[in-house]
Amino acid sequence: MTLTQMADTELVPSNSGSWPWNWLRWTSSSTAMLRAVEKQILSCLKTAYRGCYVDIGSVVGTSDKVWTISMNTESKNIPILLLHGFASGVALWCLNLDSLAAQRPVYAIDILGFGRSSRPSFSSDSLEAENQLVRSVEEWRREMKLEKFILLGHSMGGFLAASYAIEHPDRVAHLILADPWGFPERPADVAQKYNVPIWVRCVAFVVQPFNPLWPVRAAGPFGQWLIGKMRPDIVRKFSPVLDDAAEVIPQYLYQCNSQIPSGEAAFHAMMSGFGWAKNPMLKRMDTLRKTIPITLMYGTRSWVDSSASETIKAQRPDSYVNVQVINGAGHHVYADKSDTFNRYVLDACEYTDKEEVVSLAPPLDTIIVSQDPIAKSNSIIEDIPASPDQCHRLS
């Protein structure tokens, strides 16, 4: 299925305007609705932001575009790139963006196949699907003309961030992994180890060929209600900043995941059971360049196996590896304890800034101290056509 860019820059299936398609559709999803609910969530931000599509060419599809949110791009400090987790999108960083953008450029993207980005057909081979995602991030970097950045990934985004850092070490100033998915190997006795009932094993076997979020699409117009009922915990995370969180968060998640399951299919190709990867990242972390600092964050209430952090520390005895465990946080560490999460990320950024100053410092007699004027804008500019330079300009 090809994708076309409309005048208002929305990405839609090329056949979505035909009456048979609309009549037969069971879900109540649309790119316009996703755009609207994303803007509603991001309206809680105090910092000006820009949204634009970045055309990365034919990485997977014929003309792939990556939806990008950027903030404080005038800053000369090392930028940070945020990669969301499975079934998520840029809007769920709303509790973190203001804090992270206070002193540096921040970029948050909808990973290719998710959110508002293009939804091409990924390979069904696990390694190739992973490589396609890595290439999409690298092509995005090229188009944005970023030499180096701090790379932060949550869950599946952490898996992708680590894979990217291994493949493109010159581009990563610091690797931050927030409750990363897909690191340890799947235990051979997983059913016995976790005391999984027989009926659950039977259901898991039956639905194994399907993409993980097929029930949301199968529920059609009731999918949003289903998300709200199944995951009220996610809604509660955002209620401090969103008065209508009970409505907009389930709607955002529904709109993100009721469309073509492109990135979801890539995740399905990479996973071995929902909690593990076919090609575990932990086996490859010893190939990551030793000079790249790593910060890992885990929630004490998360289902993710945090033992990988100790293995990584053992693999990298002469490298910077900082492990932080956030009390009371579950898998969504960035939202469960956002203030603590933001502080740890800022600490990692500060460490990186100091390291860069040390490595790049000229002789003392050539140092010139200057300060850029601070200019803040309260305007919010959205939906700019896919030109990387435009992503750098706020007005």
pLDDT of the residue at 64: 98
pLDDT of the residue at 229: 59
Lowest mean pLDDT among 95-99, 280-284, 391-395: 391-395
User: What is the number of other CB atoms lying within 10 angstroms of the CB of residue 300?
Assistant: 14
Sheet with strand 50-57: strands edge to edge? 321-326, 294-299, 172-178, 149-154, 80-83, 106-109, 64-71, 50-57, 381-384
User: Which candidate, 184, 182, 180, 164, places its Cα nearest to that of 172?
Assistant: 164
Contact 306, 298 (CB under 8 A): yes
Report the percentage of the chain scoring pLDDT > 90.
Answer: 63
Paired tokens of 75: 């800053």
Go through the domains of the chain in sequence order and give each one's CATH number: 32-187+269-392 (3.40.50.1820)
Paired tokens of 29: 């999803």
Contact 196, 275 (CB under 8 A): no
pLDDT of the residue at 213: 60
Paired tokens of 331: 């898998």
Pairwise CA distance, residues 45 & 59, whole Å: 32
Listed in sequence order, the residues at least 6 apart from 123 whose beta carbon sits closer than 8 Å to its beta carbon are 129, 132, 266, 269
Paired tokens of 23: 């009549």
Pairwise CA distance, residues 31 & 29, whole Å: 7
Pairwise CA distance, residues 1 & 61, whole Å: 9
Pairwise CA distance, residues 69 & 392, whole Å: 10
Helices and strands per DSSP (H, E), number in the chain = 15, 11
Contact 350, 102 (CB under 8 A): no
Contact 43, 79 (CB under 8 A): no
pLDDT per residue over 257-309, tens digit each? 888 899 999 999 999 877 889 999 999 999 999 999 999 999 999 989 999 99
Contact 298, 330 (CB under 8 A): no
- Report the C-alpha dihedral over residues 73, 256, 38, 35, rounded to 10 degrees: 100
pLDDT of the residue at 224: 61
Q: Does the structure show a pLDDT above 50 at 379?
A: no
Paired tokens of 202: 């039977």
pLDDT per residue over 40-54, tens digit each? 999 999 999 999 999
Would you give the distance in Å from CA 106 to the centre of its chain?
Answer: 13
Would you give the distance in Å from CA 155 to the centre of its chain?
Answer: 8
Q: Does the structure show a pLDDT above 70 at 350?
A: yes
Q: Which residue's entry shows tokens 């949003």?
A: 224
Pairwise CA distance, residues 99 & 193, whole Å: 40
In this structure, what DSSP letter does residue 78 have?
P
What values do phi and psi take at 154, rounded to 5? -105, 135
Q: Could you tell me the CA-to-CA distances from 388 to 64, 173, 359, 378 in Å, in that order?
A: 14, 21, 29, 22
